Structure 1
Amino acid sequence: MKYNQIPNLLFIKNRKKFMDRMQPKSIAVFNSNDIYPISADSVLPFEQHRDIFYLSGADQEETILVMFPDSINKKHREILFVRETNEHIAIWEGAKLTKEMATEVSGIETIHWLKDFDKVFFDLMTEAETIYINTNEHYRQAVETETREDRFIKKYKQQFPAHRVAKSNPILQEIRGIKEPEELELMQTACNITEKGFRRLLGFVKPGVMEYEIEAELVHEFVSNRSKGFAYPPIIASGNNANVLHYLENNRACNDGDLILMDVAAEYANYSSDLTRTIPVNGKFTKRQKEVYNAVLRVKDDATKMLVPGTLWAEYHKECGKLMTSELLGLGLLDKADVQNENPDWPAYKKYFMHGTSHHIGLNTHDYGALKTPMKANMVFTVEPGIYIPGEKMGVRLEDDVVIQDKGEPFNLMANIPILAEEIEELMNK
């Protein structure tokens, strides 16, 4: 892995939080992701399942974590199964975790080779009454591919039909949403790497540069700082491309007089950052561009102040809609009649700001976290309002990542990344 090894105390704490919420005589199982094929003998780069990483730190394929806090044998209360390595694998694929390394990474004392899983697991299931299965219940999931976790669930249900079933996801939603200090430090590192990439761009962008050239500059900066690269597919949208919310082609020239909306950020140690900035191609905002830009910035700043313990996610978004409505009226994009006659299910402001303002961020860019209960300290949210005006071939979005505090306003992990229009102009024209 490119990142520095994470002290295993984080994963020890995370497992304890999970096990403290398990039912008596229950067992929980977490599988690594598959390596996904492209075609022929080509595969996608391996990405670890974030749940098993959160609980063990194991960043390797063909890995299984078992937690059984009520096991009669104390050695079986936490077990990590890893792929057995050998000289052939080491030559062709590189070194894999040894049993000693697996303990060092995870803090788990009992390590078995994966080939022993069925035998050990059968023995444990004779003691267990309930099994926690790990299904993807994220509110935005749209997965069609059968995963390694899915195959395990099918197999276990055939082998052990008499066991009760419980869900891991509600526990993960609760505990993963509130970040430990070590996680906040890793996320800050990801944001710091993102800052380096953005500052690099401010001296690089000029009329005629291609969107993909900007992407290449970011990749260089991110990987040079121990990141695998982008935390999510990069959006580098110049001119009217900014009005395509998930524009991914990044293949057009950036023209004089246009804005570039860049939703680009680095990962570090599997933790995401999520940044959006909008800058002028020629280094100077027009009067109208700056009016729209500053309107978005005001919404972002005012929305951020509402992210405090006790806030309800749904109510927060309603208030953000009111902030945006006020700004759109000021910009002449809406009039009072538009607001008075709006459809409550699709308010007038949605014509120019059609997505949400905030989401959880952490091991996933759209991370796990409770959304129907009051917000709590150490939850981390994005704040990302935008105004999209196809008729003016302009889109502006601004985004930072913030940590809810016990008291006062959130802590901005991206506070050092330039955002004021005047500062961006100054840095672009040095």
Structure 2
Amino acid sequence: MRYAPISPDLFVHNRHNFSRHLKPSAIAIFHSNDVMPTNADGTMAFRQNNDLFYLSGVDQEESILLLFPDAKDPRMQEVLFVRETSDQVLTWEGYKLTKQQAREVSGIKTVYWTHEFNDVLHGLLFEAEHVYLNSNEHLRAVVEVETRDARFIKWCQQHYPLHKYERSAPIMHQLRAIKSEAELALIRKACQITERGFRRVLPFIKPGVMEYEIEAELYHEFLRNRSRGPAYSSIIASGANACILHYVDNDQACRDGDLVLMDFGAEYANYASDLTRTVPVNGKFTQRQRDVYESVLRVMKTATQMLVPGNTLGQYHKFVGTVMENELLRLGLLNQGDVRNQDPANPLYRKYFMHGTSHLLGLDVHDVGSKYRPFEEGMVFTCEPGIYIREEGIGIRLENDILVTKNGPVDLMKDIPLEADEIERLMQAR
């Protein structure tokens, strides 16, 4: 892997926490993601299943993790299965984990080859009463292909219909929402790489540059700093394109007098960062652009201070909506009389700020966790207010990643330029 080795202590700790939540006499099984096809004999780049990685550190296809804390044979309480390599595999695909390397990465002593899984599972299931199976339970997920997890669920229930089946996802959502110090170090590293990308592109941006050229500069900096690449599809949206929330075409020229909104983040060791900055293409904000920018920045700073233990997303978003409403009144985008008479269920500010302010961040950019759970120390949220004025061709969003602590919010991106004056100074230094 491109990233530096991770201590197996992280994964030992994660497995211990997960196993404590299992019912007595329970087996939990986690599968790696599939290698997804494109066309002909092409495949997409492999991306590990985040739950399997969280529990094992194994970043390789055709891997399986089996946890059975109450196994009668202590050697079978944690079992890892990895793909058996060969000279042919080495010649065509490269190095795969040996059993010893798999032990070193994961901290799991018992390692088999993947093709031995069915026989090993068969013997263990007769000792077990409950079987925990994994699935992608995310409110925003749209899954149109059958995953390896989904296939295994059907196979397992068909072959062992009398066992009691349980869901692993609720446990994973509970655990993954709170980041350990080791995880935070990886997220900080991703943020540092993102900062390098942003500082690289600031002097590069000028009238006539293509959106995809900016994207290329960012990716260059990501890859040269041991990142696999972007944590998600980057948005490089100039002019009115910035009013399209998930604009990813990135194929237009940046014009003099326009702004360019850049929503991007490096991945490091499968952990995500998520940054948004909006800058003037020519290096100088117009007065209107600066006024809107400063409004978004004030909302961001106020919202950040609300990311504290005990708050909830519902309370938080309601509060941020009120702050945004005041800024839109200040900008002349809303009328005080209309606001007084608005439908509380459909506030007028949503015309210009139609998305949420924050989401959990971790192994997934939109990380797993309950939206009803009060904020706790160790959670990491984005903070990303925006104002989108389509009729003026202005879309401004600002975003940093914030760690919740008992002593107040900690901005993991505090060193990345944010103030309008600093943005202008760095751009004009080219």
TM-score (norm 2): 0.99
Question: In 2, distance between residues paired with 1:406 and 1:83?
Answer: 43
Matched to 2:349, the amino acid is Y
Whether 1:403 aligns to 2:403 is yes
Amino acid at match of 1:196: R
Distance in 2 separating the partners of 1:289 and 1:326: 18
Match of 1:352 in 2: 352
Aligned partner of 2:172 in structure 1 is 172
> What does residue 124 of structure 2 align with?
124
SS at match of 1:199: helix
Aligned length: 429
Aligned to 1:391: 391
Q: Is the 8 A contact 1:34 1:62 kept in 2?
A: yes
In 1, Cα distance between the equivalents of 2:338 and 2:214?
A: 39
Q: Secondary structure at the match of 1:43?
A: coil
Q: Which residue of 1 aligns with 2:420?
A: 421
SS in structure 1 at match of 2:401: strand
Aligned to 1:310: 310
Counterpart secondary structure, 2:257: coil
1:283 corresponds in structure 2 to: 283
Q: What are the Cα deviations for residues 338-371 of structure 1, in whole angstroms up to 9, with x where unaligned?
A: 2122222221100000000000000000001232
* 2:210 aligned residue: 210
Matched ranges for 1:141-180 at <5 A? 141-180=141-180
Quote the Cα distance in structure 2 between the aligned partners of 1:72 and 1:338: 69
Match in the other structure for 1:111: 111
Contact 1:78–1:108 (CA under 8 A) maintained in structure 2: yes
Q: CA deviation at 1:300?
A: 0.5
The DSSP-based 3-state class of the residue aligned with 1:260 is strand
What do residues 154-200 of structure 1 show as CA deviations (whole Å, max 9, x unaligned)? 00000111111111111111100000101000000000000000000
Q: Matches of 2:346 and 2:57 in 1, distance apart? A: 43
Give distance in 2, aligned partners of 1:360 and 1:369. Answer: 7
Q: Which residue of 2 aligns with 1:64?
A: 64
Superposition map of 1:231-380 within 5 A: 231-380=231-380
CA distance in 1, matches of 2:373, 2:273: 24
- CA apart distance, 1:139: 1.4
The separation in 2 between residues aligned to 1:78 and 1:251, in whole angstroms, is 49
> How far is the alpha carbon of 1:419 from its aligned partner?
0.3
Aligned partner of residue 381 in structure 1, secondary structure = strand
The alpha carbon displacement at 1:229 in A equals 0.8
Q: Percent identity, aligned pairs only?
A: 55
| Cα shift at 1:136 | 1.3
What is the alpha-carbon distance in structure 1 between the residues aligned to residue 344 and residue 96 of structure 2? 56
CA contact (8 A) 1:178 1:369 kept: no
* Counterpart residue type for residue 69 of structure 1: P
For residue 252 of structure 2, what is the amino acid of its counterpart? R
Once the two structures are superposed, what CA deviation does each residue of 1:114-146 show, in whole Å capped at 9, x if it has no partner? Answer: 111011001110000000111111111111110
For residues 45-64 of structure 1, the aligned pairs below 5 Å read 45-64=45-64
Letter paired with 2:314:
A
Amino acid at match of 1:102: A
Q: Match of 1:142, SS? A: coil
SS in 2 for 1:263: strand
Provide Cα deviations, 1:224-268, integer angstroms capped at 9, x if missing partner.
000011110010000000000000110010000000000011100
Rounded Cα–Cα distance in structure 1 between residues aligned with 2:348 and 2:397:
18
Q: Which amino acid aligns with 1:364?
A: D
1:66-111 Cα deviation digits (max 9, x unpaired): 0000000000000000110011101110010100000000000000
Counterpart secondary structure, 1:333 = coil
After superposition, what is the alpha-carbon deviation per residue over 1:293-333, rounded to whole angstroms, capped at 9, x for unaligned?
Answer: 00000000000000100011111111111110010010000
Deviation at 1:374, TM superposition (A): 1.0
Q: For 2:208 and 2:194, locate their aligned partners in 1 and report how far apart those are by CA, in whole Å.
A: 24
The worse-fitting range, judged by mean Cα deviation, of 291-300 and 370-379 is 370-379
Q: Aligned partners of 1:83 and 1:281: how far apart in 2?
A: 49
CA distance in 2, matches of 1:299, 1:164: 49
Aligned partners of 1:32 and 1:61 also within 8 Å: yes
Structure 1: 5+ residue stretches without partners: none
Give SS of 2:229's match. Answer: coil
1:26-70 alpha-carbon deviations (Å, 9 max, x no partner)? 010000000000110001000000000000000000000000000
CA distance in 1, matches of 2:123, 2:273: 42
Name the structure 1 match of 2:39: 39
Q: Matches of 2:24 and 2:313 in 1, distance apart?
A: 33
Q: CA RMSD for the aligned pairs?
A: 0.7
TM-score scaled by structure 1? 0.99
Structure 2 CA distance, aligned partners of 1:93 and 1:344? 58
Secondary structure of the residue aligned to 2:230 is coil
> Which amino acid is 1:336 matched to?
Q
